[in-house]
Amino acid sequence: MGDGQEQRPASPADVYEAVFVPAIFEPLTRATLDLARPQPGERVLDLACGTGIVARRAAPLVGDGGSVVGLDLRPGMIAKARSLPAPEGAAIDWREGDATALPFAAGTFDLVLCQQGLQFFPDRTAAAAEMRRVLADGGRAVLAVWRGLEHLTLFRELTEAEARHLAKLGVSYEEIALPFLMGDEGEIRAALAAGGFTAITISEATITASFPSADRFVRDVETAYASVMPQFVDDPSAFEAFVAAVAADLAPALARYRDGDGVRFTLKAHMAVAQ
């Protein structure tokens, strides 16, 4: 660019792929797949796939003899996933779809992966039942779900800042903190058991999140998530004011986690295996 500034992705899906995937979801995907161990020839569903990092990393592991489907409710995420280069191994079938009513026959998959999706489903028991239904006998589901905010360092302080400034727009704390409100492993176990799984184990993974720009951290986060709120779609100036206010509140915390030009902090997730 002529002013020397880096060209930034424009859409929430672009920012999610360009910033959040390398910062958070790439290291979390390694933990998820280390636990899931996809095998050559297996049929894999990446549920709530976002822009598809889990599906893209699973495809080479199952190879040409396997299959991978990436499914997400959000068309923007699926469009972005389709636009990215195809990995080696299994071809990926990208689908728009609802986790509580999966468009697949019973027994279609050997492995269902769901990374940071369960807490967003409006009916978690129905989603778990659908995972169980589409798994073949002996199949397994592997899920990653963030622990509570007390285990998420900078995200806790970010969420508190967001809550202060979104309350005036009528947005509840529960809506803002939704990604982190299933931090009790008992809730995960109960949802999976209610969906028909009987062998459930839950462990913990710790990852290091590494965002490239401390100065753009708040804008990147809010562009990927808050910018799609109707209040901000209707009034972009309100979004700009919100970003500025959150950035000002978060400045002391960002200084603590600053690493050169970027920011680094740890995050903890529950890792569930259900068979």
pLDDT of 233? 87
DSSP H/E element including 43 = strand 43-47
Range from 12-21, 90-99, 218-227, 232-241 that averages highest in pLDDT: 90-99
Percentage above 70 pLDDT, the chain? 96
pLDDT tens column, 69-106? 999 999 999 999 999 999 999 999 999 999 999 999 99
Taking alpha carbons only, the member of 110, 89, 108, 90 closest to residue 36 is 110
pLDDT of 93? 98
Q: Is residue 4's pLDDT more than 90?
A: no
Q: How far is CA 236 from CA 95, 172, 173, 228, 242, in A?
A: 30, 20, 22, 10, 10
Domains of the chain: 12-274 (3.40.50.150)
Neighbours of 123 (CB within 10 A): 14
Taking alpha carbons only, the member of 71, 23, 31 closest to residue 51 is 71
pLDDT of 228? 86
Averaged confidence pLDDT in the chain: 94
pLDDT of 10? 63
The region of weakest confidence among 4-18, 146-160, 259-273 is 4-18
pLDDT of 3? 44
pLDDT tens column, 46-72? 999 999 999 999 999 999 999 999 999
Percentage above 90 pLDDT, the chain? 88
Given CA atoms 147, 151, 155, 161 in this order, what sign does their dihedral have? positive
Under a CB-based contact definition with an 8 Å cutoff, are residues 137 and 151 in contact?
Answer: no
Q: Give the pLDDT band of residue 225 (cuts 50, 70, 90).
A: confident
Alpha helices in 44-142 (DSSP H): 53-62, 75-83, 124-134
Say if pTM beats, i.e. exceeds, 0.85: yes
Q: How far is CA 131 from CA 13, 57, 181, 209, 214, in A?
A: 25, 20, 21, 29, 38
pLDDT of 271? 98
pLDDT tens column, 252-263? 999 999 999 999
Under a CB-based contact definition with an 8 Å cutoff, are residues 224 and 15 in contact?
Answer: yes
The one-letter amino acid code at 210 reads S
Q: What 3-state DSSP class applies to 56?
A: helix
Residues in the chain, total: 275
